[in-house]
Amino acid sequence: MTLFDKIKKLTEIQASSGFEGPVRDYLKQEMTAMGYQPEFDGLGGIFVTKTSQVADAPVVMIAAHMDEVSFMVSSIKADGTFRVVPLGGWNPLVVSGQRFSLFSSQAGKKIPVVTGGLPPHLLRGSNATPGMPEIGQIVFDAGFEDADEAAAYGVAIGDLIIPETETILTANGKNVISKAWDNRYGCLMVLELLDYLKDKELPVTLVIGANVQEEVGLRGAKVATTKFKPELFFAVDCSPASDTFGDDNGRLGAGVTMRYFDPGHIMLPGMKAFLTDTATEANVKTQPYMAKGGTDAGAAHLSNEGVPSTTIGVCARYIHSHQTISSLSDFDEAQKMIRAIVEKLDRAKVDKIKNY
């Protein structure tokens, strides 16, 4: 299976915060096929432990997150349309005029839904100027006649609504257009790493897998770090590229992001030195990144008695929308980086990172 085929498989799965089951099932299937025995935390995170034979081996966690941004039905109107609350961060401007799937918890059905876009015809002669809508004002429409028909088809408050898209290659074959690269990137990263490590012995014990509910407050990372008690934590996550908006902070195709700062996390000096040395030795292309949002590293580093953490990331254009553009070469660089990290770590290096 090509890298694109793997990306297509994972990004077209529809699974969101608190409803990560379809991605978790896929990860479990792939991990088991490799010969691993996955285990779960109480919220549904999935992890494999690769135990070192070295005495006093440090425990290092590498974690993606499975959820993508979506919506939950909060009300059903008399005309049969829905209103929602967001699961994760959405720019209202990218929501209207898109296709979604509603997952009926009562009927076990997948129901096609679109978001209402106001036609220009209805603005003519009104002297009205369209404003920024609130998420709660956006119309979600499945074409039902009224609320009774929606109920008859099994639609209920609390049902999940997730973007529906097809994953495709760009014309030059270098990039992928998809939903959910945040963070199916990380899910594929951990699968590829597990495959690479199948027959390798290392001086660190690795806990590798994926958390739940990152998009709604980094919740799964708190649970997982409490359960497995790592000494270091590496999130693998995707961040927004801003290169098409006149900003060099996050450029597509420029390699692995060195996330020095985000609102909930600052990279510690020992971690920065280790990552810089590792990238140089492994000839990994990197780019500095100053983030405006967080990753699971922000929750992990505050867990237990404090866990030095960072993010091994890539950036992609237009994330948290139906159509993200991501770079195949960036994924390759990130995979090269995470492999170099796990092969370089040992007790002495972990202690050096912790005791900067």
**10 lies in some domain:** yes
What are the catalytic residues?
Answer: 214
Say if residue 75 is in the same domain as residue 62. no
pLDDT of residue 234: 98
| CATH code for position 51 | 3.40.630.10
> Judging by beta carbons within 10 Å of its beta carbon (0-12, 13-18, 19+), is residue 150 exposed, middle or buried?
buried
Contacts with 86 (C-beta within 8 Å, 6 or more apart), sequence order: 69, 70, 71, 135
Domain assignment of residue 168, yes or no: no
Whether residue 197 is found in the same domain as residue 334: yes
Task: Identify the residue whose tokens are 């920024």.
Answer: 132
In a domain, 315, yes or no: yes
Q: Quote the domain boundaries for residue 95.
A: 70-163
> Based on the structure, what is the number of domains in the chain?
2
Mean pLDDT per 10-residue section of the chain, whose length is 356 residues: 97 98 98 98 98 96 98 98 97 95 93 85 64 88 98 97 98 98 98 97 98 96 97 98 93 98 95 98 98 95 96 98 98 98 98 91
**Which pLDDT value is given to residue 107?**
83
* 31 in a structural domain: yes
Same domain, 95 and 216: no
Report CA Rg, the chain.
21
Answer with the one of 116, 138, 163 that is the final residue of a domain. 163
Q: Give every CB contact of residue 303 below 8 A, 6+ residues apart in sequence.
A: 221, 222, 225, 226, 233
Tell me, what's the pLDDT at 154?
97
Residues 196 and 120 in one domain: no
Domain match, 267 and 244 both? yes
Known binding positions? 65, 182, 215, 237, 320
Domain identity same for 281 and 334: yes
Asked if 80 and 47 sit in the same domain, the reply is no
Collapsing DSSP to helix, strand or coil, 132 comes out as coil
Backbone angles phi, psi at 207, to 5 degrees: -110, 110
172 in a structural domain: no
In-domain check, residue 204: yes
Last residue of a domain, one of 139, 163, 187: 163
Same domain? 15 vs 57: yes
Task: Provide the CATH number for the domain around residue 154.
Answer: 2.40.30.40
99 in the same domain as 64: no
Cβ of 101: how many Cβ atoms within 10 Å?
17
CB distance 284 to 333 below 8 Å: yes
Instruction: Say whether both 107 and 250 belong to one domain.
Output: no
| Among candidate residues 113, 129, 163, the one where a domain is terminated | 163
The structure tokens listed for 165 are 């898209």
Per-residue pLDDT at 118? 66
Residues 76 and 109 reside in one and the same domain: yes
Residue 170 lies in a domain: no
313 and 244 assigned to the same domain:
yes
Which residue ranges make up the annotated binding site for Zn(2+)?
Answer: 65, 182, 215, 237, 320
